[in-house]
Structure 1
Amino acid sequence: QSRRNRRAAVRFFRKLLKRQGSVPRELVTDKLASYPAAHRTVMPSVRHVTAQYANNRAEVSHQPTRQRERQMRRFKSAAHLQRFASVHGVAQNLFRVGRHLLRAVHYRLLRTRSLSLWGEVTCAC
């Protein structure tokens, strides 16, 4: 949304209520000043909670979506992303050796093996 005023908040709350179909017992938001004004307009009987960490569950539930969006920024389409991700996951396991769990000599040995294997797989002679 381009604005974060009372009108935008009222429109947002009405859209949520329409989609949900029922009035919630309580409304959990951050402390944006336009939310209480919109709350009084749209659903005054519902308890409004603005405690500091109350909306953390909602924020965390959006994390996977944000991660996907962050990955999508580099690709032109979802199909390109899917093609890359399917190959990248397998190849990444070759190179992501638990370095903190190994001594330097063993890490270098595994790294050399994985690079030679990668050369064979990609036909880089």
Structure 2
Amino acid sequence: MPALVNVKHVFVKAAARVNNRAENSHQPMRERERLMRGFRDPARTRVFLSCFGPIRQHLALKRHLLRATLFRKQLAVRFAQWWEFIHVTQNPSNVF
């Protein structure tokens, strides 16, 4: 093709992990870390989030699927369970 004779061809690197930093920034852990900007040490952030994740899963209800009355009742039950768990873990001798 004579039209492409003087065109400079550029090699595009399409290898895996070239765009790794941009892709990692969209992962759930990275998004949660970005929300927790008060943590400067990534390792410390991961420790906190690994502990906080199950707690949040227990307390976070699917609000958009529940009526307000049912949401409040379920949330009250879950908070009661949470406070009972905290009491047991802080005072293990009072269990029996």
TM bracket, shorter-chain basis? 0.5 to 0.7
Q: CA deviation at 1:45?
A: 2.4
| Alignment CA distance shift 1:104-1:69 (3 Å) | closer
CA contact (8 A) 2:33 2:45 kept: no
User: In the TM superposition, what are the counterparts of 1:1-125 in structure 2 within 5 Å?
Assistant: 44-46=8-10, 61-64=23-26, 67=31, 70-71=34-35, 73-123=37-87
Moved over 6 A (4+): none
Percent identity of the aligned residues? 29
Q: Greater CA deviation, 64-73 or 110-119?
A: 64-73
User: Aligned to 1:122, what secondary structure does the other structure show?
Assistant: helix
Task: Give the TM-score normalised by the residue count of structure 1.
Answer: 0.45
**TM-score relative to the length of structure 2:** 0.56
Q: 1:46 deviation in Å?
A: 1.0
Higher relative contact order (CA 8 A, sep 6+): 1
Aligned length: 72
Gaps of 5+ in 2: 1-7, 13-18, 91-96
Distance 2:58 2:33 in 1: 26
Q: Which amino acid aligns with 2:70?
A: H
- Over aligned residues, Cα RMSD in angstroms? 3.0
Shift in alpha-carbon separation, 1:64–1:121, aligned structure 2, 3 A: same
Aligned partner letter, 1:102: L
Is there any run of 5+ residues in structure 1 with no aligned partner, and where?
A: 1-43, 49-57
**More strand as a share of residues:** 1
Superposition deviation, residue 68 in structure 1: 5.9
SS at structure 2 position matched to 1:74: coil
SS at match of 1:106: helix
